[in-house]
């Protein structure tokens, strides 16, 4: 029996564009977007930020160094965070789960500034609909590493086999299954609803 549902954030609850971040930073640094993309997303910088090895101030300092720019933190954060939009077709699934009283959580690789932006601007209702948040930057562990799933199981307060989890990345799904969680590859709202029902979750959608 499923007693708790976790959803990934990126490409499940919200869409995002790293390319947009690279373009916006490129304007600030007078650099081609491809160059910015390589310096931010093809190095350890973003990964270190998402895994909690850097706080926001340290991330901005490192970003200024790699882009050779003197922009203030606020400008850098806006450029790297104004990249999100809601996955509108998933929202009715979430609403159905909330109405059915299913405990919900977010299990996501994310950083402090992205999380703050999403929960104050993109989808401010997220912190009402979901009651549990297992975020890589807060727990110091990221998917698909096993440690973040141990945090998720503990936070849910139920057995691993009583947890349903949906993620858009196959490696994250496989890692969750290895931890004993009933995990599903997210390919769209309709398939998510079908997988939830197949797992025994009863709700209206």
CATH of domain 4-15+85-198: 3.40.50.1000
Q: Specify the pairing of strand 14-16 against strand 84-86.
A: antiparallel
Residue 81 and residue 78: Cα distance in Å, rounded?
5
127-141: pLDDT as tens digits: 999 999 999 999 999
Amino acid 9: pLDDT: 98
Integer Cα distance of 134 and 146 in angstroms: 13
Residues 103-160: tens digit of each pLDDT: 999 999 999 999 999 999 999 999 999 999 999 999 999 999 999 999 999 999 999 9
pLDDT in tens, 11-67: 999 999 999 999 999 999 999 999 999 999 999 999 999 999 999 999 999 999 999
Pairing label, strands 4-7, 163-167:
parallel
Q: Tell me if the pTM is above 0.85.
A: yes
């Amino acid at each position: 029996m499923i007693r708790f549902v976790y959803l990934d954030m990126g490409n499940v609850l919200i869409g995002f564009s790293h390319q947009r971040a690279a373009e916006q930073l490129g304007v600030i640094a007078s650099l081609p977007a491809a160059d910015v993309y390589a310096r931010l997303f093809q190095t350890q910088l973003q990964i270190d930020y998402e895994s909690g090895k850097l706080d926001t101030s340290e991330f901005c300092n490192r970003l200024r160094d790699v882009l050779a720019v003197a922009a203030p933190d606020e400008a850098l954060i806006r450029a790297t965070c104004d990249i999100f939009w809601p996955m509108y077709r998933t929202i009715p699934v979430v609403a159905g789960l909330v109405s059915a009283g299913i405990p919900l959580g977010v299990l996501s690789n994310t950083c402090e500034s992205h999380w703050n932006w999403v929960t104050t601007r993109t989808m401010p209702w997220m912190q009402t609909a979901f009651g549990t948040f297992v975020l890589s930057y807060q727990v110091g562990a990221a998917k698909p590493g096993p440690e973040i799933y141990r945090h998720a199981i503990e936070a849910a307060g139920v057995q691993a086999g009583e947890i349903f989890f949906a993620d858009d990345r196959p490696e994250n799904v496989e890692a969750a299954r290895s931890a004993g969680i009933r995990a599903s590859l997210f390919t769209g709202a309709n398939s998510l609803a079908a997988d939830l029902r197949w797992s025994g979750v009863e709700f209206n959608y």
